[in-house]
Structure 1
């Protein structure tokens, strides 16, 4: 397909994804039309299809990018250490990473219901890779006798839900800095898993 005159794929494509992310996070996927996304970017609605097959592909692409970037960032931080150090590192990472991306986090968790079965299966697989990293820490901690969780999978889901919830209420102008918040969460997570 030919591009719209005056458009630049390296500029317009990212602008479309950014506008879709803002609108999906603010109004919800189902309430946003391709026309609204185009209006936000300043292109004709038909021009969007030069960059994405449809709205579903746009949603799945945003979620896929979020999960891929999340795993790449986690890989860059991860390293050998005892289970308690790894647990604290995971907690700090999750808080820091997610607080910087509240719209992406909202979409990644709240819009799963709007994915087609094929896209859902793909995104769920990516999410499990992230969950598996925390579950491995918890299993290693149980094996080392420094953690006491009866079901590491359930504990993993509980910890991730608790950590992710911070994006809904944390404010930079509040009484806790991000570092203070991360340390508070490290202490709470350790108590949750009986460290």
Structure 2
């Protein structure tokens, strides 16, 4: 018997991915077994293989989905012509998107080492495409004379690390509202590029 009575294909697949994400974030990919994921969902271990070939495929798909959805969020955002305004828009989109997905952010950064080589190449390519979007903003700002950045690639890495870091400490209902955090980070991003 592969499927637990009462389980449904349209809900079980997403529940499996959600359980795997939570367990990977809490215990680390290497420490989580398919049996643990199945137990978390309430299905037999064999049922997982109706939805995914293996644990590596789960990790890869959640990372790919996270990065593709992040890029889609930026692609859908309004992008002002002015590089400084575009940098602010990028900052707000990045922080807002990632604060809604702290487990996915954690797994996407901390579990890169556990990707098989072919999967790593795909994820690294998606990350570079996203980084390129910010680097284009910085390059445009340097060309327009409004940013002072000695190396746009290095500045890109530093800014993304700073912006992503908010997911490690921000708590809803804490001392600072999300809007206040975004405003402070926009100001820090401007200062980081000499604007």
- TM-score normalised by length of structure 1: 0.96
Counterparts of 2:2 and 2:152 in 1: how far apart (Å)?
A: 50
Query: Deviation string for 1:131-180 (max 9, x for gaps)?
Result: 11100000000000000101000000000000101100111232210000
Q: Which segments of 5 or more consecutive residues in structure 1 lack a partner in the other structure? A: none
Structure 1 partner of 2:108: 108
Structure 2 partner of 1:169: 169
Matched residue SS, 1:18: helix
Query: Deviation string for 1:96-127 (max 9, x for gaps)?
Result: 11111100000111100000000000001011
Counterparts of 1:128 and 1:119 in 2: how far apart (Å)?
A: 14
Structure 2 partner of 1:94: 94
Structure 1 partner of 2:11: 11
Counterparts of 2:113 and 2:78 in 1: how far apart (Å)?
A: 31
Structure 2 partner of 1:85: 85
Equivalent pairs counted in the alignment come to 194
Query: Aligned ranges for residues 176-191 of structure 1 at < 5 Å?
Result: 176-191=176-191
Counterparts of 1:87 and 1:53 in 2: how far apart (Å)?
A: 40
Matched residue SS, 1:43: coil
Structure 1 partner of 2:75: 75
Change (3 A) 1:51 1:118: same
Counterparts of 1:13 and 1:130 in 2: how far apart (Å)?
A: 27
Q: Which segments of 5 or more consecutive residues in structure 2 lack a partner in the other structure? A: none
- TM-score normalised by length of structure 2: 0.96
* 1:39 correspondence with 2:39: yes
Alpha-carbon distance, 1:3 to partner: 5.9
